[in-house]
Amino acid sequence: MPNNIVALLTDFGLQDVYVGVMKGVIAKINPRLSVIDLSHNIPPQDLIAARFSLLNAYRYFPDNTVYVAVVDPGVGSDRRGVAIQFPQGFLVGPDNGIFTGILDASPGIKAVELNNSKYWLTPNPSQTFHGRDIFAPVGAHLAEGVALESLGEAISLESLVTLPLPALQVTETSITGCIQYCDRFGNLISNIPVDLISDRDWTIAIANHRIPSAKTYSDVAKGEPLALVGSHGYVEIAVNGGSAREQLKLTVGEIILLF
């Protein structure tokens, strides 16, 4: 059953009217839908950041929420638009790997390619704004109860584009992962989950840095780096009162070793 919630995530920013226009399209279909902004400040075309942001958010929403995500470097090309049902709701957006994190954590049930223009804003969508012309209206229709199968032709879940991270390597003495996201504070968030870590003290090795573990930011002096488990449930590298990204000159994709 629908719950009438649409959650939006884009890289559109808030300077232009793009986000507002998407909300207007949703309101024209059903003004009673609740539209929640996850973020519109994903760095332009940064699919890795969008992947993590969706993964970090979906657990906090009611079941049957519709997530419309538009970070779409391939807009206007032959990349597919898709809608996917997964146990907690529905995902709508480009088939470019943006939903990989969620689907790794909560595998999909079924998916369709969005080729039924009855549920688009127009049968002749813009080549540069599928968020307005396809994804927002499809999300609205899903949220008000239109069946997934009505939106287009069924496709196999195995055919969806993926955006995988390097696989975790776990031994008796260490875990190797990578940095998957950097937040606005400059905290570097790895893909090492808390459930792989014992209660003992541990250390992070990354590039030429060795960083000890701590429980919270204030456990070290101002300006000192530390490693801890963040609220998202992953190991992160931070600097008390500063930016780990800037101070340590590290970024997404860096290999991280926990021992």
Report pLDDT digits (tens) over 45-98.
Answer: 999 999 999 999 999 999 999 999 999 999 999 999 999 999 999 999 999 999
In 174-230, beta strands by DSSP E: 175-182, 188-193, 203-206, 209-212, 225-229
Query: What pLDDT band is residue 198 in, cutting at 50, 70 and 90?
Result: confident
**Tens digits of per-residue pLDDT, 139-162?**
999 999 999 999 999 999 999 999
pTM over 0.85: yes
| Phi-psi domain of 22 (left: phi exceeds 0; alpha: psi -120 through 50; beta: other) | alpha
Query: What pLDDT band is residue 183 in, cutting at 50, 70 and 90?
Result: very high
Are 194 and 238 in contact by the 8 Å Cβ rule? The answer is no
Query: What pLDDT band is residue 41 in, cutting at 50, 70 and 90?
Result: very high
For residue 102, the number of C-alpha atoms closer than 13 Å in the C-beta half-sphere is: 29
Domains in the chain and their CATH numbers?
5-159 (3.40.50.10790), 169-258 (2.40.30.90)
Could you tell me how many residues make up the chain?
259
Closest CA to 42 of 141, 230, 184: 184
SS3 content of the chain, % helix, strand, coil (to 5): 25, 30, 45
